[in-house]
Structure formats: structure tokens, C-alpha cells
Amino acid sequence: MRTKVFILGACLVFAVSVAVSSAANAAKDKVFPTKIENLNPPLPATIVGWGAFDTHTAEDQEPAGIWFHNGLYDGYMELASSRRSAPDVDWLDSEHFNHKARTAGKGSIVLPDKESDRVLSKFDRPIFHAALFRMYTAFDRGGREVAPKSAAEAQVSYDCWIEATEYDREEEAKACRSAFEAALARVEQVADYKLTEAPFVPSGVPQMAAMAPQPEGYLVYFEWDSTNMTPAGQAALQEAIRSAQNMAETRIALVGHADTSGQKAYNQTLSEKRALVVIQGMTSAGISRARISWDAFGQTRLLVPTADGVREQGNRVVEVDLM
């Protein structure tokens, strides 16, 4: 047994040294391989069999984020699975997307890949730069809140598109780009309208199916050190109220938060007051108080992880979930 362990350890040490040497040579030549088969010399296949890559641990996770985060979790899970089960196995990107799924499932921020994260041609770089700017613009207009499922689909499809483009999988890149364009168009059309207007009905979707009420989640943002909602927060609350009125049988769960720029006890009280402001807004609109449950966590459950003392808009929020 000791002999086997020694031989196994020696093989691991050798494999790691080979990989490090290969990475160093790649860095010298400014080539950054991101797939197993691009390493020269290649990493021994047995290392993969021993579980050197974390490609599927997100499968055992129970997602606990808002609707947008849960949509990212599902999408990145599918990407991770497809990369490790494809004939041309891509262990590194499978691990990459698995990590994104795990992060999203915890309710933490997951950013899409930038063009600088991938090895792209001079022609492709500006295309992805423009696509990323367009997506962030839609998200900044409230796209994550008013169309969380489509927003998540847009981000995952964008990552699928840029990864497929890096490895010249033209058909897959084309399909992922089409999915990105369609999902982002849905987000943009909703986010460009006032949230109190009639709901957007996507083209090609039967009207009865589109009008069927679906559970949703919203983020109501607040000003710093205040119980005053931001304009985006006011719009999100109005949209949540309208959805709650259209779905009379649903229950409403609120969770108040605060950022870390203040004393912990003060922030706990502030998050409670913010939740109560949202409750008041909903009951004033005719929603029964009996339908609403609430909690508040101050700075102890940050939606956007930060250090202590950081003013972060993404944490000055009340989550509204219609269940």
C-alpha cells in the first residue's frame, strides 16, 4: 500500500511539475491555453480521472438566490455539464462554469466573461466588448429585476457564445449568439418601458400563455443610510405590487438588507425599517397584510460580498418574492 501511495504521489508531483512548466512556457510566449489538450506536453489523462477538476459539485447545491441568480445557476449548470460530456471534453471550462453555478446558487454576484478573459481575434474582441456593454446597459436599467429569467438567459448565452468563439466552434457560437440576442431583446424591451405600464408580451408567444401569472422576484433599492427608495426601487415596488394584485393567491416574502457602511446594530435596524416601508407601500395599494411575511438581516447576509465599511448599492435593498 505504501508503495502504491508513493508511486501515486510521485506521478502527481510529476504531472503538476509538467503542467507548471507548460504554463510558464505559455506565459513566456504570451499564449494562455485554457483547455487540457492545449497544454504541451499534455496533462496525463489519469489526473482527470483522479478528480483534479471540480466540474460538477454545484449539482449537490440547493440554489438560494433571487430569481436572477437562480436562473444563472440553472444555465451555468447546463454549460458545465455539456463541457464535461462533449466528445471534445473541456475540463477547465466545465470547472469554470461549475464554479459560476455554485456562486450564483449562493446568491452572490456572478459576472460574465470579458473579452480580455478569452483568447480572441482582433475582429472578435470589439464585437464582444459591444455586446457586454449593451447587456450591462440593459441590466442597469433594471433588467435583472423586471425580467430576471431572460436576463439570466442572456448572460449565460453570452458566456456560451464567447467560449465557443474562442475555440472556433462556429455552429455552437452562432446558436449561443442567437439565444443571447433574443433574450437580451426581451430584457431591453421591458426595461425601456416604465414598469407601471402594461406587461410586455413577447412576439411569437400565445397571448393566453404570456398573460398567465408567474411567480416573480424583485429588488427594491434604497438610498444610502436612508429609508427612501431610489427611482429604480420605486419602479420595482410598483411592478411587484402590480404582479401581487394580478396573482391574488400568492404569498409575499420580504427580506431587508443593508450595506456595511455603518455599525452592525444600526444596519440591522435600518434593514428592518426598509422592509416596513415596502410593507406599507404594498398595503397602501390594497394588498392584504396577511399575505406578507418579512425578515431583515442588516449586513449579515450581503447580496454583494464586500469588506466592512463599504457603501454598496446592491446591498441597500429589500428582496420581494412572490411565491
pLDDT tens digits along 35-52: 444 444 444 433 444 345
171-191 burial by CB neighbour count: b if 16+ within 10 A, else e?
ebbeebbebbeebbebbbbbb
pTM, 2 dp = 0.47
Q: Assign 3-class secondary structure to 253-270.
A: EEEECCCCCCCHHHHHHH
pLDDT, residue 41, reads 42
Long-range contacts of 240-247 (CB under 8 A, 24+ apart): 240/216, 240/282, 240/320, 240/322, 241/281, 241/282, 241/285, 241/287, 242/196, 243/213, 243/216, 243/218, 243/322, 244/282, 244/287, 244/291, 244/322, 245/285, 245/286, 245/287, 246/213, 247/213, 247/215, 247/322
The mean pLDDT value for 155-175 works out to: 94
pLDDT of res. 210? 40
E-strand spans in the chain? 217-221, 252-256, 292-296, 317-322
User: Residue range 165-185: average pLDDT?
Assistant: 92
pLDDT at 198 over 60: no
**pLDDT at residue number 211:** 39
Grid coordinates of 292: 406578507
- What's the chain's average pLDDT? 77
> In DSSP terms, which residues pair with 292 in a beta bridge?
252
Cβ atoms 241, 257 nearer than 8 A:
no
**Per-domain residue ranges of the chain:** 2-49, 57-191, 215-322
Place of cell 402594461: 198
Q: Helix (H, G, I), strand (E, B), or coil: what is residue 279?
A: helix
Please give the pLDDT value at position 137: 84
pLDDT of residue 65: 60
Mean pLDDT, range 200-223, rounded to an integer: 58
pLDDT tens per residue, range 68-126: 888 898 989 898 888 887 666 677 888 888 888 888 888 788 899 988 889 999 888 88
Q: Specify which residues 221 forms β-bridges with.
A: 317
pLDDT band at 192 (very low <50, low <70, confident <90, very high): low
Residue type, 64: A
Q: Three cell numbers at 43? A: 496533462
Angle among Cα 211, 213, 216 to the nearest 5 degrees reads 125
The lowest-confidence range among 71-85, 107-121, 140-154, 193-207 is 193-207
> Which pLDDT score is estimated for 93?
82
**pLDDT tens digits, 233-266:** 898 899 899 989 988 888 999 999 999 999 999 9
In terms of CATH architecture, what is 215-322? 2-Layer Sandwich (3.30)
Q: What is the percent of the chain with per-residue pLDDT over 90, rounded to a whole number?
A: 35
Task: Find all residues with CB under 8 Å of 23, minimum gap 6, and list them.
Answer: 39
Q: What is the mean pLDDT of residues 291-314?
A: 91
Q: What is the pLDDT of residue 304?
A: 84
Quick check: 73 and 158 in contact, CB under 8 A? no
